Amino acid sequence: MEASLVKGVISKNVRKNTYAMRYVAGQPAERILPPGSFATIGQALPPGEPLPSEASLKVLVWNIFKQQRAEWLSVLQNFGKDAHLVLLQEAQATPELVKFATSNYLAADQVPAFVLPQHPSGVMTLSAAHPVYCCPLREREPILRLSKSALVTVYPLPDGRLLMVVNIHAVNFSLGVDVYSKQLGPIGDQIGHHTGPIIMAGDFNAWSRSRMNALYRFAREMALREVRFTDDHRRRAFGRPLDFVFYRGLNVTEASVLVTRASDHNPLLVEFRPGKPD
């Protein structure tokens, strides 16, 4: 996407220090500011191909726990390198992760939620195609005063449609659901301006009944369906799963949860059929 479109006027609803860092092999890291309007979606397609036109679209979703545990890289190498999209939460932009991302994907976009002593941490989306739209979002947790991030990217599909991908790490420590719902608001604005297929996934921190209700209400309003896992080994808190995948305009062909000790969350593996939904 051309810089003149990406680096537009920042909406008054988005903090000026909200941005994404884009990593592409052989190029310096680029700071991407929020677009000025939704009109930029699909206006200028970058050079390159759409997401691969294989029979299935493979997506990996994983809170990687800031790469604090051993074996995180081997898990990504074994399961991430064959995915077309990898949605990471709590991803530290370490040289090892950036090298993996740029060696196996055309683009990697990260929204720094906060800066650790050496490397920024936040959601990161790795993709087998260049995004045609990128909107970073952040929300500050009211108690710890740390930020959680979300990233909206759009990719062309072989059938000419545009796929919107929402990668989110929801606020965790808050009283009530006001801030939780507030974080979902700008994402709803993005989805509301998109007519094509959508994947929304990540660590939603839906550990209470009120949070679950707010999340499911949002999904209904956005006409999103939830991916169901038959052998469900998702990380839970107070008996409720924290990680979810929602979608529309696609078909789910396979969904599984990988059990690993490489993070405090288990990765979700979902395969979609890009065709019209059944």
Q: How far apart are CA 258 and CA 254, in angstroms?
A: 13
The pLDDT of residue 14 is above 50: no
Tens digits of residue pLDDT in 145-159: 566 889 999 999 988
| Residue 42 pLDDT class (50, 70, 90 cuts) | low
The model's pTM = 0.89
Q: Where are the domains of the chain?
A: 3-273
CATH of 3-273 among 3.60.10.10, 3.40.1160.10, 3.30.460.80, 3.40.50.300: 3.60.10.10
Q: How far apart are CA 178 and CA 164, in angstroms?
A: 25
- Highest-confidence segment of 31-40, 156-165, 230-239, 243-252: 243-252
Q: How far apart are CA 149 and CA 124, in angstroms?
A: 9
Q: How far apart are CA 194 and CA 184, in angstroms?
A: 16
Q: What is the rounded average pLDDT of the residues 213-229?
A: 96
Which segment of 100-109, 168-177, 226-235 scores lowest on mean pLDDT? 168-177
User: Dihedral angle at the C-alpha atoms of 76, 113, 132, 100, nearest 10 degrees?
Assistant: -20
Amino acid occupying residue 115? V
